[in-house]
Structure 1
């Protein structure tokens, strides 16, 4: 994986972020989702390097080989605002004050928060399989609660740690043939680390509390994404089934938004890397 990429660990405030980076040209940051690590991008990142970008793939705070602080009752240490600040600090350490940005799943919430809080740093943002957390919570139906029940299970105190750590291989099932062996091995090692499991759950606990509050405050203040925004979603996942065209919802949050579906299951970076890389390049091309 990641031939000709470098990797390092960068201290930022109360966390240490593991990051892979390679290539030359304008910076593109790729943020993974749950329960993956930055290795999920191993089929996409080299394709973007070949097209003339510097590609930066961090492990989010607490995920993979990154580490964060002990959890607190308000979950603020794992809020998307704090994790977005990590990414800005990492890119600054690597010499990039401005960059294009893509996030998938939980990483998309970090990308969304980063583009809202640091508009001068983000030239363009792509949000994959994503609606604002507050939009999900305001639209809860029995169907949503049944399909996305894990949001509310992960938010419970203590219980999900005990369940997941009792048998992480059964809980988080992966396919090394579909994921790629090295990606699978890295992911599986992380899933068997109780410290990583705890941090991933804190991500969800922050999501339905402090992160949702931040989004509602943005909405009340009229804060919007001002950079060009691309919305991509997996056609064989359920986002469009639940809500119809996600772009329609994002028009309430972004000034310049466009998007389309990708013929893939949820983990599009692993399942449809060529189509995803093509879509990202077409969108990021004006930064070259």
Structure 2
């Protein structure tokens, strides 16, 4: 898994992140969702490296082997703003002043917060199976509450920890063949750690409180995303069934929105890695071309 990648722990503020990285060229930051680790990208990340990109794959704070701070009563320690700041510090530590942020599921909310809070650094944003949290909640109806009930269960104090930690293997379902043996083993190790389970739940608790408030403040202030935004969604998941074309919702947040559906279930990096990598590479080509043009101009000046 991740042949040619280096793996190590990178301290950033009050967090130490487990990070895989490889490649050269424009920097691409891959952010996983719940309840995965960065290993979910193991089939996609090498294809991006081969296409000419510098690829950075962290575990989000508290997930996998990334060590986060203790939870706070207001859940701010696991807010998307806190996690986005982790990623901004990480990219600085690795020498990447500008980068493209790609997030799946919960990682898409972190990627959005990165793009809002660090706009000068995020050249492009890709969201996979994601909408702003506040947009989900603004549209929440009986169908949403029935199909996405876990958002509200995970937000309860203490009870989810007791239920999940009683038998994490029964609670979290993942197919070893679909995920890949090494990815599956890493994921199993993570979900069996009560501290990881607590951090993952704090992610959801922050979502319904501080993250929602942060997004609503952005909208009230009229903030919009100036960078290109690419939206990809799983045709065999329920995002389109719930909301129709998700690009329509994203156009309330961004000036330039593109994207399409992918024939996959929710975990598209595991289930449809070639189709996903192709879609990402097509979106990324202009950034690589721009870097090449800048380098050519610098050489001419010398």
TM score, norm. by length of structure 2? 0.95
* Structure 2 SS opposite 1:100: strand
Deviations, residues 254-283 of structure 1 (Å, cap 9, x unaligned):
011111000000000000000100000000
CA distance in 2 between counterparts of 1:178 and 1:283 reads 26
CA distance in 2 between counterparts of 1:77 and 1:40 reads 24
CA distance in 1 between counterparts of 2:52 and 2:284 reads 11
Residue pairs, 1:1-288, within 5 angstroms: 1-288=1-288
Deviations, residues 82-134 of structure 1 (Å, cap 9, x unaligned):
10000011111111010111000000000000001101111111001011100
Deviations, residues 26-65 of structure 1 (Å, cap 9, x unaligned):
1101000000000000000000001000100000000000
CA distance in 1 between counterparts of 2:59 and 2:93 reads 15
- The structure number with the bigger radius of gyration is 2
5+ long unaligned stretches in structure 2: 289-302
CA distance in 2 between counterparts of 1:110 and 1:34 reads 12
CA distance in 2 between counterparts of 1:155 and 1:13 reads 26
How many residue pairs match? The answer is 288
CA distance in 2 between counterparts of 1:8 and 1:287 reads 27
1:10 Cα offset (Å): 1.0
1:14 Cα offset (Å): 1.1
CA distance in 2 between counterparts of 1:17 and 1:49 reads 21
1:12 Cα offset (Å): 1.3
**Bigger Cα displacement from structure 2, 5-14 vs 42-51:** 5-14
* Structure 2 SS opposite 1:214: helix
CA distance in 2 between counterparts of 1:101 and 1:135 reads 20
Q: CA RMSD in A?
A: 0.5
CA distance in 1 between counterparts of 2:74 and 2:220 reads 22
CA distance in 2 between counterparts of 1:189 and 1:49 reads 27
1:13 Cα offset (Å): 1.4
* Structure 2 SS opposite 1:259: strand
4+ runs of 1 displaced by more than 6 Å?
A: none
TM score, norm. by length of structure 1? 0.99
CA distance in 1 between counterparts of 2:194 and 2:225 reads 36
